[in-house]
Amino acid sequence: MVTLALSKGRILEESIPLLERAGIVPEEDLTKTRRLIVGTSVPDVRLVVIRAADVPTYVRYGAADLGIAGRDVLLEDGGEGLYELADLGIATCRLMVASPIDEASHEGPRPWARLRVATKYVRITERYLAAQGIQADIIHLYGSMELAPLVGLADRIVDLVSSGRTLAANGLKPVEHVLDVSAWLVANRAAMKMKYEALRPVIACLAGERGQ
Ligand code: ADP
Ligand code: MG
């Protein structure tokens, strides 16, 4: 049995057509079903549908042999115990620093205080700011980062941007590019040794010419 972990949300929407093109058709509509484990048209391949940030954990422990996860999630996780097999080229977006369009109309920046940066991506942001030589306090949030500058919680945010509409709707603009993001196919390291014959056709179907 080969278990493939899929990230809920944006990545799932773009993974379904990719799976279907690869001939791995889910037995249920993944966007509607309440089941967390779903079989496919390929007898020995099953899918688990989980939170994006949990995919590296399932794959690291071998609860899933393969996973599809954003580069943002993989970098934040550190990727220990995982092989990054192929960039699938789906769910593309950018990790950006954003700030209020009109700084003066907001409660920050506070000139005498350290810069405060709100993000879900604490490790990536720490590394990015350190590389820029910027001293800042990183405020860890789990979602709706756009709110933080509006209520004086942070001066800047680091968040994913695709169209920029969510930022604009909250009076923010992207100011610095941190990372290009897309979804990658990853594998458990031990499974690549022990179950390679079973994994190989699935990897070939999903990664196609993008695989190594
Ligand atoms: P969650 O709320 O669990 O973080 P999301 O659907 O918001 O789930 O994001 C899951 C993954 O989808 C992210 O880690 C990223 O790789 C990708 N993603 C998020 N936002 C976008 C976007 N605007 N455009 C494309 N991909 C995105
Ligand atoms: Mg989200």
Beta carbons within 8 Å of 193's beta carbon, 6+ residues apart:
none
At residue 212, the pLDDT reads 46
Task: Determine the average pLDDT of the residues in 188-207.
Answer: 97
pTM over 0.85: yes
Q: What is the pLDDT of residues 125-143, one digit of tens each?
A: 999 999 999 999 999 999 9
11: Cβ below 6 Å to ligand 1? yes
At residue 103, the pLDDT reads 74
CA 80/CA 95 separation, integer angstroms: 22
144: Cβ below 6 Å to ligand 1? no
Q: What is the pLDDT of residues 152-195, one digit of tens each?
A: 999 999 999 999 999 999 999 999 999 999 999 999 999 999 99
Atom of ligand 1 lying closest to residue 11 CA: 12
For the chain, how many residues are written?
212
Instruction: Name the β-bridge partners of 157.
Output: 98, 118
CA 208/CA 44 separation, integer angstroms: 19
15: Cβ below 6 Å to ligand 1? no
Model confidence band, residue 210 (pLDDT cutoffs 50, 70, 90): low
- Is residue 138 within 8 A of residue 168, CB to CB? The reply is no
Query: Taking 80 as the threshold, does the pLDDT of residue 72 lie above it?
Result: yes
At residue 99, the pLDDT reads 96
Model confidence band, residue 106 (pLDDT cutoffs 50, 70, 90): low
Tokens of 153: 């919680």
Distances (CA, A) of 135 to 115, 123, 132, 149: 7, 14, 9, 18
160: Cβ below 6 Å to ligand 1? yes
Best of 93, 158, 159, 182 to mutate for ligand 1, by most ligand atoms within 8 A of CB? 93
How many angstroms is it from 176 CA to the middle of ligand 2?
20
How many angstroms is it from 70 CA to the middle of ligand 1?
7
Query: Taking 90 as the threshold, does the pLDDT of residue 208 lie above it?
Result: no
Collapse the DSSP code of 177 into the 3-class scheme (helix H, G, I; strand E, B; otherwise coil) and give the result. Answer: strand
Atom of ligand 1 lying closest to residue 69 CA: 16
At residue 105, the pLDDT reads 54
7: Cβ below 6 Å to ligand 1? yes
Model confidence band, residue 109 (pLDDT cutoffs 50, 70, 90): low
| Average pLDDT value for the chain | 94
At residue 102, the pLDDT reads 84
